[in-house]
Copies of this chain bind each other. A is one copy, B any other.
């Protein structure tokens, strides 16, 4: 049982759009990711997904609006909701979602990460 220091963990990797597993509890995972640029439109049919912004400003695009999530803020994207994360500048996020969640949801592509490293 070890505590996790976010700054330290974020210092261990530089790849974008490759979530790392930083914790597991109750069938859920805590993931850390660095984002930059535009991701793909996708949805998760069965999983709600929480995005907590640790650094930067995350633009979460929906079909009918865009939500700007700043450092110290979080947004829960309900299952079944199409969304696209966009980061004009580098963004660090902490995700909280079921262990079963695939990063690209229903939109498998070369961005899909089938295996996530633990950090």
Contacts of A25 in B (CB 8 A): 48-50, 76, 78, 96-97
Query: When the two chains form their complex, are residues A1 and B96 in contact, meaning their CB atoms are under 8 A apart?
Result: no
Confirm or deny: A26 has a beta carbon within 8 angstroms of a beta carbon on chain B. yes
Our pick among B2, B28, B67 for the contact of A26 (Cβ within 8 Å) is B28
Quickly give the copy total for this chain. Answer: 2
Nearest B residue (CB) for A27: B26
Contact of A56 with B by CB under 8 A: no
A69 within 8 A of B: yes
Complex CA distance for A77 and B1, rounded to whole angstroms: 7
A81–B50 touching, CB < 8 Å: no
The distance in angstroms between the C-alpha atoms of A84 and B49, with both chains bound, is 30
Task: Flag the segment in A4-12, A34-42, A104-112 that touches B.
Answer: A4-12
Residues of A within 8 A of B (CB): 1-7, 23-26, 28, 30, 47-50, 54, 62, 67, 69-70, 72-78, 81, 96-98
- Can you offer 12 A-B residue contacts whose CB atoms are under 8 A? A1-B67, A1-B77, A3-B67, A4-B75, A23-B76, A24-B76, A25-B48, A25-B78, A26-B28, A26-B48, A28-B96, A30-B96
